Amino acid sequence: MYDLTRYALAAAARGWHVFPLTPGQKRPLRGFTDWERQATTSAALIRQTWGRAPYNIGIACGPSRLTAIDLDVPQDGDEPAPPEWAQPGVHDGADVLALLCEKAAEPLPLETFTVRTGRGGMHLYFSTPPGADLGNSAGKLGWKIDIRACGGYVVGPGSRVASGRYEAIHTAAPALLPSWLAERLAAAPVQPSREPAVGHALGYALTAMRAEVERVLAATHGSRNNTLNAAAFALGQLAAADLLPRHLAEACLQSAAEAIGLPAREAFSTIRSGLDSGYREPRRAA
């Protein structure tokens, strides 16, 4: 049986308040109607609760003093991007965030705890600024970006749903939510410029990283190591051009490699070699 106890304990060890979600789903377990109050950091209670069944993990953002930015990806049947976001280079929530950062002349805030969702999106965890009263919102920052803060929860790493597993791809401590983002979340919804967005380097790099990770995940037996090396080389080129944090590329590729059955040490060596080779041939976004 898939054991989620260690994932719940790991979250609690960071001071995050957890509660059980229905196995294989995103909704609170029956009986947890007041989940924000019922969420806990008690190791004994966590072992008792998750020892019963492979419950998914909910992390209550308010008590945990977390603000999570949910960068979603379009799925089959979704409505197309609204006109104000239907710009070149904007395909999903990560691209929208990259565009917002570019317009604000701010760096893309990737140096924080990051989870890849079951649907292929990302959750960026941030520490809520002292005194900030942030709640939940959908689309306030932009298309395919949701916010979970006080009164909200996120599905924690280790959880599994029909579309896949939630997996931590960067385990740094949550950074303080950038002040410019906190201000925008407390203000009126952002209205983007209608000028064409040419050469979104940040969005381009994130799209490239997702594509390379998917390529590794789809690799067949006998081609896995070569595919991993080629993916690392491609992302190393972007990292060398300061378009992508090297540690993020390394963590994502390592996770994908282990998911397809490559030994961790062998994968690490291949990734390191590929990244180093890519560094010698920097690439710029088109």
pLDDT in tens, 60-99: 999 999 999 999 988 877 778 888 788 877 888 988 998 8
Q: What confidence score (pLDDT) does residue 198 get?
A: 35
Q: What is the pLDDT of residue 29?
A: 95
Give the pLDDT of residue 280. Answer: 83
258 neighbors 250 (Cβ within 8 angstroms):
no
Convert the pLDDT of each residue in 188-214 to its tens digit.
444 444 443 433 556 667 777 878 888
Three-class DSSP category at 235: helix
Q: Specify the range with the lowest mean pLDDT, choosing from 35-39, 157-161, 184-188.
A: 184-188
Q: What percent of the chain has pLDDT over 90?
A: 44
CA 19 to each of CA 10, 29, 47, 94, 206: distance values in angstroms, whole numbers, following the listed order: 13, 8, 12, 28, 31
State the DSSP H helix or E strand holding residue 68, giving kind and residue range, or none if neither.
Answer: strand 66-71
**What domains can be seen in the chain, in order of their start residue?**
5-62 (no CATH), 64-186 (3.30.2250), 201-279 (no CATH)
What confidence tens digit (pLDDT) does each residue in 105-149 have?
998 898 999 999 988 899 999 999 998 888 898 888 989 999 999
Q: Between these two residues, 163 and 188, which has the higher pLDDT value?
A: 163
Whole-angstrom distance, CA of residue 236 vs CA of residue 242:
10
On the question of pLDDT at 284 being above 70, the answer is: no
Question: Do 8 and 50 meet the contact criterion of CB atoms below 8 Å apart?
Answer: yes
Report which of 97, 75, 77, 76 is spatially closest to residue 85, judged by C-alpha positions. Answer: 97
Q: Could you tell me which of 168, 153, 183, 179 has the C-alpha nearest to residue 63?
A: 153
Mention every residue, 6+ apart, whose C-beta is less than 8 A from residue 151: 36, 61, 62, 135, 136
Specify the amino acid at residue 159: S
Question: Average pLDDT for residues 245-267, to the nearest whole number?
Answer: 84
Is residue 31 left, alpha or beta, with left meaning phi > 0 and alpha meaning psi from -120 to 50?
A: left
Position 203 scores a pLDDT of 63
pTM score, two decimals? 0.71
Backbone angles phi, psi at 219, to 5 degrees: -65, 140
Distance CA 70, CA 119 (A): 11
> Are 68 and 147 within 8 A, CB to CB?
yes
Tracing tokens 């979250």 back to the chain, one arrives at 11
The pLDDT score that the predictor gives to residue 1 is: 52
Q: How many CB atoms lie within 10 A of CB 226?
A: 11
